[in-house]
Every structure is written in C-alpha cells, then in structure tokens.
Amino acid sequence: MIETLIQWDKELLVYLNNLGSTTYDPFWLFITKQLNWLPFYILLLYLVYKKVSLKTLGVVLLVIAGLIAFTDQFTNLVKGYFARPRPCNTEDIQSMLRIVKCSSTNSFFSGHASNSTATMLFLFLLLRRYYKYAFLVFIFPLVFAYSRIYLSLHFPGDILVGMCAGTMTGTLFYNLFKWLEKKYKLV
C-alpha cells in the first residue's frame, strides 16, 4: 500500500511540475523565498496591532516565534528520521522533471508548508474575530507550498503532510495563546 502511495505521489509531482514553463520560473523562485513575503507579514502584524493592546501584540509575537521554532524543529526531526530525498535528487523521476531549483537536504515533509500553514492558521484564528475576510490568509500557504512542487523541491505528499503538521501546531499554539489570554487577561 505504501509503495502505491509513493508511486502516486511521484506521478502527481511529475504532472504538476511539468505544468510550469521557463517564462514563470522567476515568479515561482520569488514566491518560494520567505524574505520576499516580509511586506505581507508586516501587514498581518499591523492588522493584529490595530485590534489588540501592545501587551497582547507582544504575546502574539512571542507565541508566533515559539510556533515557528517548534514547527521548524519538529519538521527537521521528521526529515532526519525519514531521510526521503527531494524530487530533484530522486533518480527514477529526475529525467521527467523540470528541475528549476534543487537542494541536497531531505524532502519529507515540507517545512515551507508546515511553517506557513501553522503561522497562518494561528493568525486566522486570532484575526477572524475582527476581520470578515481573515480566511484570505490561507492563500499564502497554498501558493507558498505549491512553489515547492513547481520548483521540484517537494512531492505533493510532502506538502500535504506538512500542511497537516502545520494545522496541528497552529491549533496547539493558538490554544496556548488562548490560555495565556485568559490567564493574563490580555485584550
């Protein structure tokens, strides 16, 4: 059964990866860099700042820092355990891929997917009480994670599992925030 899932994962990657073209490669290379999203992160923090006290904003920033550190380390632990090569380094499909970018690190599961999903879920759960369209933050992890498939850096399964892990850690850290909010009467 697991071999069948791995084969489907490879086939889906080859299909999705080959939808790309050299015309769009610079766009997806831009999308995949975390630093390029800094204006978006600043906008989200500004939206939080407009609705909460400075004390609460400080706690939000600390919780997000903890969330990212935890998610990142958990992802690295899993990557080290499974040691699945990235698609661009997987011999049986290399010749079928458009390799736009490659890395020698492990693939399973995607840190981009887990961290972006965890952070955006946390911010969504926080912002939904104030903003009707807070759900739009989920566009970011979807586009960000897809860039990893486009570039041949992750299998779709890596992205899916990364998003599931991010959902769990985002929920966990939101619950931690809610506990802190109640304990310290944050507003």
Rounded Cα–Cα distance for residues 30 and 38 (Å): 12
Residue 149 belongs to domain spanning: 2-183
Cα angle, residue 81 at apex, residues 149 and 3 outer, rounded to 5°: 60
Total domains in the chain come to 1
Q: What is the pLDDT of residues 98-132, one digit of tens each?
A: 999 999 999 999 999 999 999 999 999 999 999 99
Model-wide pTM > 0.85: yes
CB 23 within 8 A of CB 157: no
Alpha-helix runs per DSSP H in the chain: 2-17, 25-31, 38-51, 54-82, 91-94, 111-127, 139-150, 156-183
pLDDT digits (tens, 9 = 90+) for 5-52: 999 999 999 999 999 999 999 999 999 999 999 999 999 999 999 999
Q: What is the CATH number of the domain that holds 84?
A: 1.20.144
